[in-house]
Amino acid sequence: MDTSPLAPGLYIVATPIGNLGDMTRRATDTLGRCDLVACEDTRVTGKLLNLLGLHKPMRRYDDHASDGAREALLAEMAIKAVALVSDAGTPLISDPGYKLVREARARGVTVTSLPGASAVVTALSMAGLPTDRFLFAGFLPNKEKARGDVLTELSGVPATLAFYETGPRLVASLEAIAERLPRREVAVARELTKLHEECRTGSAAELATYYSAQPPKGEIVLLIAPPGESEAPDDDVIDAELRAALTEMSTSQAAGKVAKAHGLDRKALYARAMALKQ
């Protein structure tokens, strides 16, 4: 292993999402040669460094850190090699680092990214859903209404939709998908790269029934196939969305919102909304 010091700068280092074998040689090398490791949780990263047989100074960092703490780290990058890692996977992907990278680049600091594991790409490459276009949207909101609004907003996007999910929330999310996107194929990719890895596909309703009976443990990526060529949403789904929208906005706005979400004709939906109002 190369043990020479690294040039000053910021090194974005991906770490495994559950299987230590996915730590790349270059990532290990960089953690061994850097001067400082910035991380979300020093206990989690401390364990990883121990497993790799490395001893490095660590500094807790996330995007909620004070401006002063970020400034201090940025100042160090001018003279030291600073590695940024998250608890697992690729930093900045639903993890801290965006503000740090943006600021570092603005100041002319050299930013190097070391690719490695990321749950979203791992799930996409094994699920058998289209991968030519995908839209990663992080975690769905916790609250029912906000979650429904996001699904409606994204329902017309011609791409596989990818979300991060947790066991306790999975069934509620699947039920929300079943209500709004009943005909889409869905994949639940769970415990990726770990002993109990599974990837189960079906309609959202089928998967909700399955996981209600066996509450899922562990970490999850949820994928939703793009709208099919001939897929038109059920009339009652459209009516339910129009009714919900009419409680918050004018008829014209409600028709526009639902038409945009499903790629449907706005005038036809306006007429339908008027009929629903009577």
Please choose, out of 31-39, 106-114, 117-125, 168-176, the segment that lies near ligand SAM by the rule CB under 6 A: 117-125
Indicate the residue type of 23.
Answer: M
Cα–Cα distance, 197 to 84 (Å, whole number): 27
**Class of residue 244 by CB neighbours under 10 A (exposed 0-12, middle 13-18, buried 19+):** middle
Residues 6 or more apart whose CB falls under 8 angstroms from that of 153 comprise 261
**Strand 198-203 to strand 219-224: parallel, antiparallel, or no bridges (unpaired)?**
unpaired
Is 193 near ligand SAM (CB under 6 A)? Answer: yes
Give the gyration radius of the chain's Cα atoms. Answer: 23
Question: Which residue from 50, 142, 166, 253 is in contact with ligand SAM, where contact means CB under 6 A?
Answer: 166
Is 18 near ligand SAM (CB under 6 A)? Answer: yes
Question: Which residue from 28, 30, 90, 152 is in contact with ligand SAM, where contact means CB under 6 A?
Answer: 90
Question: Which residue from 45, 118, 173, 251 is in contact with ligand SAM, where contact means CB under 6 A?
Answer: 118
Q: What are phi and psi of 134, to 5 degrees?
A: -145, 155
Is 93 near ligand SAM (CB under 6 A)? Answer: yes
Indicate the residue type of 262.
Answer: H
Q: What are phi and psi of 79, to 5 degrees?
A: -125, -10
Is 89 near ligand SAM (CB under 6 A)? Answer: yes
Is 220 near ligand SAM (CB under 6 A)? Answer: yes
Please choose, out of 23-31, 105-113, 198-206, 218-226, the segment that lies near ligand SAM by the rule CB under 6 A: 218-226
Residues in contact with ligand SAM by CB under 6 A are 17-18, 86, 88-90, 93-95, 118-120, 164-166, 189-194, 219-221
